[in-house]
Every structure is written in structure tokens, then in C-alpha cells.
Amino acid sequence: MNYTLHQLQIFLKIAEKESITKASEELHLTQPAVSIQLKNFQDQFPIPLTEVIGRKLYITDFGKEIAIAAQKIVDEVNQITYKTNAYQGQLSGVLKISVVSTGKYIIPYFLSDFMKQHEGVDLILDVTNKERVVHSLEDNTVDFSLVSVLPKHLQVEKTKLMENQLFLVGNTSESFPKKKYKTAMLTELPLIYREKGSGTRHTMEKYIEQNDIPVRKKMELTSNEAVKQAVIAGLGYSIMPLIGIRNDLEAGRLQIIPVQGFPIKSIWNLIWLKNKKFSPVAQAFLKYVKENKDHIIKNKFNILND
């Protein structure tokens, strides 16, 4: 066998995405280039690594075993790089963070300068819903998680990043001239929800339950961006974090509807398992966040305080 590290990395990405198209996008390669490397890799094995049913690519059981072995090889190669950098006095290693979907508007600003200062650090950032974020933390597969709703069943430590404000929003086709509406108006509006497991949905349902509001659930969508586009299109209204809609408010695509009790406020927290043993990279990142968060918030998020 004469497979290359490059082929292992490409196969791992295909196995992760179960798609040559998605793998090529993430690897910044053309689809033909990825397909050729997969074929060259496959030619070295007598058993299929993948199979196509309909138009869907699946990883075979044998392929999954090879992917596990390939990941171990890639990890060991990365360790060589990290150890070399460490001997040269550079901070080196992997920083793993899981982030709830609306946190994608926040976490890059807390990572940008840190990553520029430490070129030997690799970042694995998983953006998903709250349920999966908590699972990754519980399984100890990440260093940190960014959430606005703290998990109750885990012992975690945290550092506060910034305030999270949620508003009732709609598109701009209708006028809401009153300075403040009663919460009862929510019973008249078709509401668009995030999927179960979302932190935004949890906050939204908690507010509705506390105020005993009978609401009309119009639809359920699996991302904040999908909810936002549905609201812009006039399919309904939703309760959304300000951090994810500020550009649409400025552009006049969305409007905040003034309702008693809004904004709903929570806190974005960077959390980690209690008694977790940090790698040097994780320790350095936490120190960086604590020392620089006030400066980052002031310079990058001052519009939220206007």
C-alpha cells in the first residue's frame, strides 16, 4: 500500500460529510480533484470504502474502520508538528470549541487575534444546536462550549462573555405604531420556532410559559438563518437574538415589535467541565479571553448597546 497523508485527510473529510461536494468545499479543492484522490485511495483496498445508493454517498462498515485508523494516523502526524513547534517555543496544539448556532455571530471575535498570535494552534469549531453542544461537553470531546442556557445536569465552570438580548421581530410589510404592546398580542401572530434542542427555542418557550400565552405555532425550522429568512419573507414572526439580526434591522428587512417584557435577556457564557485538565492551548485561550473580553465587546459589539 502506498497511500498518502493527503489521501487520508481527504477520505476523512468525505467520511465526515458523506459527500464529495461538501468535502471539496471544506477542503477548498475541486470536486474532480477530490474524486480522483478518493479513487486512488480506494484502489489500494480490495473492499469498498464507500457506496452510492440513489444519489447519496454512504461510508461502508469497512470504510468506517479505515476512517478510525486514518484519524489516528493524522492525529499522530499533527502531534509531530505540535511537538516541533513546542521545542521552538511556540504555543502549539488543537483548540476545540462547540458553539450554539447563534453563537457563531460572537465567538469569531474572541478567536481572531488569539489565532493570529499563535500560528501553531489549530482550531476545531463545531457550530450546532444546544443539545449537541452539551453532549460534546459531556463527552469531553471539546475544551469549551459557548451557550446562553447553562446545562443543569453537568458540573461546569464558566466565564461570562456578554449579554444576549432577544426581541420579537417581523418583516417591514406591516406597521406597529404603538410604543409598547401587551404580551397578549403574541396570541394573534403566527410564530416561527427553532427546532427542539435549540437554546433560542428554550428561551422563547420559557417566556411564553411564564406569561401563560396561548400561541399559534406556524412552523419549526432548523437554523437561525432559516428562521430569519422565513420572517423576512413574511411567513410569520419570531423571537430572535439581536446579535444575529442587527444587519437586517439596519437594512430595513426586519423590524423589532415593541412588546412588554422584551428584550428577553440571558448571558453568553464560555463554559467547561469542572476539574477539567486543560491543555496548554486551552489554558492560554481562557487566559486570553478573560484579559481581553471587555476590550473585544467594546470594539466589536458597541452597536448592541446603542
Residue span of the structural domain in which 16 resides: 5-86
Single residue among 86, 120, 151 that ends a domain in this structure:
86
For the cut 80, the answer to whether the pLDDT of residue 142 exceeds it is: yes
- The enclosing domain of 181 has a CATH number of 3.40.190.290
Q: Are residues 46 and 182 in the same domain?
A: no
Single residue among 86, 105, 131 that ends a domain in this structure:
86
Strand partners, 164: 266
**pLDDT value of position 304:** 52
Rounded Cα distance between 89 and 10, Å, is 31
Residue 16 DSSP SS3 = helix
Q: Are residues 169 and 254 in the same domain?
A: yes
Q: Are residues 190 and 257 in the same domain?
A: yes
Q: Are residues 177 and 119 in the same domain?
A: no
Q: Are residues 200 and 240 in the same domain?
A: yes
Q: Are residues 157 and 283 in the same domain?
A: yes
Q: Are residues 245 and 104 in the same domain?
A: no
For the cut 90, the answer to whether the pLDDT of residue 198 exceeds it is: no
Match 478573560 to its residue by C-alpha cell: 290
Q: Are residues 143 and 181 in the same domain?
A: no
Q: Are residues 72 and 95 in the same domain?
A: no
Rounded Cα distance between 23 and 202, Å, is 32
Q: How confident is the model at residue 207 (pLDDT cuts 50, 70, 90)?
A: confident
Q: Are residues 255 and 174 in the same domain?
A: yes
Q: Are residues 285 and 255 in the same domain?
A: no
Rounded Cα distance between 282 and 305, Å, is 30
Here the contacts of 54-61 (C-beta below 8 Å, separation 24 or greater) are: 56/18, 57/14, 57/18, 57/19, 57/20, 58/18, 59/14, 59/15, 59/18
- The enclosing domain of 46 has a CATH number of 1.10.10.10
Single residue among 53, 71, 86 that ends a domain in this structure:
86
Percentage of the chain exceeding pLDDT 70: 97
Rounded Cα distance between 237 and 230, Å, is 8
Report whether 150 contacts 158 (CB < 8 A): yes
**pLDDT value of position 62:** 95
Please give the mean pLDDT across all residues of the chain: 89
- Structural domains in the chain (count): 3
Q: Are residues 149 and 273 in the same domain?
A: yes
Task: Write out pLDDT tens, residues 235-284.
Answer: 999 999 998 898 899 999 999 999 988 999 889 999 999 999 888 899 99
* Host H or E run for residue 253: none
Task: Write out pLDDT tens, residues 68-116.
Answer: 999 889 888 877 877 776 666 678 888 999 998 888 889 999 999 999 9
* Pairing mode, strands 190-194 and 216-221: parallel
Is the entire prediction scored with pTM above 0.75?
Answer: no
DSSP 8-state assignment for residue 58: E
State the alpha helices, DSSP H only, in 43-148.
Answer: 61-87, 107-117, 130-138
Rounded Cα distance between 66 and 84, Å, is 27
**pLDDT value of position 116:** 93
- The enclosing domain of 273 has a CATH number of 3.40.190.10
DSSP 8-state assignment for residue 98: E
Rounded Cα distance between 294 and 99, Å, is 20
